[in-house]
């Protein structure tokens, strides 16, 4: 996550990266599946949302703009928080479990980024369902690559799509917090 923190940290932006795993040490990138199962079996999306909502509340007294950027599980948690009135934006990258929460209607600027395909569901079908919300705050991008394509430490990494995504995100942020 350090490369993500480095990309978004600037003189006018602070980045916080909460540890929702409740572990002293994080999982190695090669243990992605183990980390996912640990989260699902021991933490869960409700607890994850609760912890992020607490963080949003604590930051809201000190910051003018608050947004969330999440990857995979973090993207789904960001989606779950997208109806929080204290948020200016959320960005969710390959949040595959968003498919279980399509009833959520974001009230802040929302950018969802999906890979070309996912092993466990149809990405085009999910995108179609989300577009049916007709929510002007919801922007969805569908890029070449597999789940994890933004992570330079995995075999799924796709440099070209990553460059595209960071340009999309930077443009989205300019609109979302202007």
At 28 the pLDDT is: 66
Choice among 4-8, 56-60, 94-98, 128-132 with the minimum mean pLDDT: 4-8
What per-residue confidence (pLDDT) applies to 69? 93
Average pLDDT, rounded, for the chain: 89
What pLDDT digit, counting tens, does each position of 128-145 carry? 999 999 999 999 999 999
Distance CA 168, CA 111 (A): 9
Mean pLDDT, residues 147-154 taken together = 85
Residue 68, pLDDT > 70, answer: yes
Inform me whether the pLDDT recorded for 1 exceeds 90.
Answer: no
Question: Looking at beta carbons, which pairs linking 143-149 to residues 24 or more positions away fall under 8 Å?
Answer: 143/113, 143/114, 143/115, 143/116, 144/115, 144/116, 145/115, 145/116, 146/115, 146/116, 146/117, 146/118, 147/72, 147/94, 147/96, 147/115, 147/118, 147/119, 148/32, 148/72, 148/94, 148/115, 149/94, 149/115
**Domains plus CATH for the chain?**
19-176 (3.40.50.1820)
pLDDT digit string, tens, across residues 32-64: 788 888 888 888 999 999 999 999 999 999 999
Helix (H, G, I), strand (E, B) or coil at 109: strand
Percent of the chain, pLDDT > 70? 90
pLDDT recorded at residue 110:
98
Residue 135, pLDDT score: 98
- List own/partner pairs for 129-138 with CB under 8 A and 24 or more apart: 129/99, 129/102, 130/98, 130/102, 133/105, 135/105, 135/106, 135/110, 137/106, 137/107, 137/108, 137/109, 137/110, 138/106, 138/110, 138/112
């Amino acid at each position: 996550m350090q490369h993500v923190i480095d990309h978004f940290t600037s003189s006018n932006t602070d980045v916080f990266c909460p540890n929702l795993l409740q572990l002293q040490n994080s999982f190695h990138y090669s243990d992605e599946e183990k980390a996912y199962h640990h989260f699902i079996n021991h933490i869960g999306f409700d607890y994850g949302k609760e912890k992020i909502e607490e963080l949003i509340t604590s930051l809201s007294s000190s910051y003018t703009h608050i947004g969330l950027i999440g990857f995979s599980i973090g993207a789904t948690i960001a989606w779950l928080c997208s109806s929080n009135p204290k948020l200016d934006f959320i960005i969710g990258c390959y949040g595959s479990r968003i498919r279980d929460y399509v009833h959520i209607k974001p009230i802040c600027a929302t950018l969802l980024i999906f890979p070309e395909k996912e092993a466990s569901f149809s990405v085009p079908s999910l995108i179609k369902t989300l577009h049916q919300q007709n929510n002007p705050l919801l922007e969805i991008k569908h890029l070449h690559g597999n789940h994890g394509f933004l992570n330079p430490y995995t075999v799924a990494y796709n440099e070209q799509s990553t460059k595209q995504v960071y340009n999309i995100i930077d443009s989205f942020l300019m609109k979302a917090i202007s």
